[in-house]
Chains A and B, each alone.
Chain A
Amino acid sequence: MKTGVLVVVVLAGALLVVVRRTRSRGSRAQSPLVAGLTWFRRRAPWAGAHKPLGDTGLVAGREIRERMRGRVFRVVTAILFVAVAAAIVIPPALHSANPGSAEVGVVRASPALEDQVLSVAKSVKFSVRLVDEPDLATAKAALSAARVKLVVDGTTSLVVDNPVSASDTSAGAQFVRALAGTLGAEKAFVSAGLSQAQASIVARAKALPVMSLKPAKRSRTTAESTALIGVVMIFVVLTQYLTWTLMGVMEEKASRVVEVLLATVRPVQLLAGKLLGIGVVAMVQAGALVAFALLLADVVGSSVLRGAAPLVVAASLAWLVLGYAFYSWLYAAAGSLAERQDQVQSMALPLSAPMLLGYIVALTGASSGSPSLLVKVLAYLPPTAPFAMPTLVGFGQVAWWQFAISVALSLLATVGVALGAARVYRRAVLRTGRRVRLRDVVTSRAGG
């Protein structure tokens, strides 16, 4: 446990240092991340004349370096890590801070009475330690000094330091109310002529089971919870990085640097390199988040990700890649049609509509505990499959071959989308001065 905490602290510290120093203005030599990348680039086996992925690799490399140096990446990454850490650390912290235990002073204690108090405490999941008090005055003094939280004066009365309101739902208040009710009932039964033993049995009577015609709603399994978290993560990461793609292509067009680049690089290489670079950054960030979440959950003993289904995690990451591959071409093509922020925003909405549909339907299905028929249909449509298919995997409602069919359909659609997007990009990206309309691009040739 201590080692785990140490590992997390060291990792968090290292991340902080990297994040803070990576973007030190004009200080490439001071940046460990950039220095590392540079070192790797120069010492790697392919350093020198060779480029592992040709021009596409060079473009992707620039994209990765510049994105990771960027302020947006730092801020978003920091926010995501903090959010994940909060989601994992806060619930156990709240749980441990919950006053679910107390010391109870008992005046005129008897084994039956103590047994009764412990029994009631157990029934409301409240932990107590009993303290014998010689008399009521001493017990009240202990209560005032906060040495005990409650005084049980035989079967006569209960004494608390502050009144317990009816609306107080804390475990301590529930315990006080339950104990008062139980001891009061027992006292009434004794008064009615039952022996102490009989009164105790009656007072502890269990409620009759309530049977329902319909089966009870089962609690969500770990795999389902993981799928739910996975769908949210896919949506957040896709939204962020597709926006980068859209803006990045638009900015290259607006700054006219694209004309210099296309004088030596083919359009499809430039576009593929850009998408690959941003995609790598996205996957690295998502992978780091998942690893950080799993490690932190293990360290703090959080149940949020305990036993997270590896298959669902893998499926979520796979669909994150597939979803990015499909949508990034569309967003890039849209970016090549615009050269101003407002033009980009007007195009982002229709592009995000199918993504929103898939996300909402999948999320609703996952939350309801039973994915609808619509989720099962959307799992085979490439625009919505990145959200619907991981949901079905989490609920165990998809066979491997169905998963494979969906992947194949998504890959085929991605190839088609990529070809169309590259065509649009090539024809639109050098047209400047006004927003280019799609139908103008379809009927024209490159270079205006």
Chain B
Amino acid sequence: MIDVLELQGLRRRFGDLVALDGLSFDVPSGEVVGFLGPNGAGKTTAMRAVFGLTDLDAGAVRWKGAPVDAVRRRRFGYMPEERGLYPNMLVRDQVEYLGRLHGMTSVDAATAARHWLERLEIADRAESKVEALSHGNQQRVQLAAALVHEPEVLVLDEPLAGLDPAGIDSIAGVLQEKARSGCCVLFSSHQLDLVEDICQSVAIIDHGRLVVAGTVDALATSGHRRLTVRVEGDRQGDWAAGVPGATVSEVAGGEVRLVLDDTADSDAVLDAARAAGRVSQFAFARRRLSEVFREAVTA
């Protein structure tokens, strides 16, 4: 059975600013769900609402069909956008302490802390103060703190920001592993390529409202067809300007990416390309998440 974290009609206003405007979407367990939106769209406010850190004007957050309360929240793990750790506290003590606050016994918290520090490859820094760690390692400690109590729901605000590729791979691997084990994982990011690689689904919000939601595969294959064409000797893609129903969405390294509307004929595109020179690449392409995002927030 799939459990679902439901955000239902969340509304929150700060003075004249509407942060959440009836935001609703579901996060099913067993999936990594990307939570996307431009700056100020309301992502952080929505995540805070899951943990009761902001009072809502309206709406509710439900888990397994029931409103989320303090007891249920103990089974949630949270990594806020602005990292929060005690700078002077030892890494192991810090992770153990947060495990205890989530209801673990001291023995279980110590065991789990040791496990996660090893899993995230920072066990050798367990006796260091947090402030002595690099940004990437602090990020790993923060994730260990969110995972130490084996949460059923994991909510992470920008967990990949500022990490090197190795750090990204490490954390991404852990998120996917948690989802496979039945955890409900929601994380926000502006690194859309990474989200596309890591997530099964995404929810895109703008101005506090949901604008797009669905699986990454479904979103990639929906909407207008995409073509990538490379014509030797033509790096600007000027040949595509006059093709009916085709719009150049991107030109990079000589590769022209075209969006075809319903009236466009791909054969006409190929003919136009051939007329410009030797065609070395002509392929239909999936819709990128970045394109989905741009189309959603500028619509």
Contact = CB atoms under 8 A, between A and B. Distances in A.
A265 B78 CA distance: 13
A270 to B, nearest CB: 9
Contacts of B53: 259, 262-263, 430, 446-447
B102 A264 contact: yes
A103 interface: no
A49 interface: yes
A448 to B, nearest CB: 6
B110 to A, nearest CB: 9
A265 B53 CA distance: 11
A257 B55 contact: no
Given A26-B128, A446-B55, A261 B83 contact: no
B97 interface: yes
A266 B55 CA distance: 14
Contacts of A262: 51, 53
A448 B105 contact: no
Contacts of A42: 106-107
Contacts of B87: 255
Interface stretch (B27-35, B68-76, B196-204, B232-240): B68-76
B86 interface: yes
A249 B130 CA distance: 18
Interface string A240-258: 0000000000001001111
A62 interface: yes
Contacts, number: 87
B84 A258 contact: yes
Contact of A26 (B76, B97, B105, B127): B127
A26 B87 CA distance: 14
Nearest to A48: B105
Contact of A260 (B45, B80, B107): B80
Nearest to A446: B55
Nearest to B17: A448
B83 A256 contact: yes
Contacts of B97: 58, 62
Given A256-B84, A258-B84, A263 B106 contact: no
A301 to B, nearest CB: 43
Given A260-B80, A262-B53, A66 B89 contact: yes
A260 B105 contact: no
Given A262-B51, A265-B101, 13 more contacts: A26-B128, A48-B105, A51-B100, A255-B84, A257-B86, A259-B53, A259-B78, A260-B78, A260-B80, A261-B101, A263-B80, A445-B54, A447-B54
Closest 3 CB pairs of A and B: A447-B54, A256-B84, A257-B84
Interface of B: 14, 45, 48, 51-55, 70, 73-74, 76, 78, 80, 82-90, 93, 97-98, 100-102, 105-107, 127-128, 145
9 contacts: A42-B107, A49-B105, A55-B101, A259-B53, A261-B101, A263-B53, A265-B101, A447-B53, A448-B14
Interface of A: 26, 28, 41-42, 47-49, 51, 55, 58-59, 62, 65-66, 70, 252, 255-266, 430, 432, 445-448
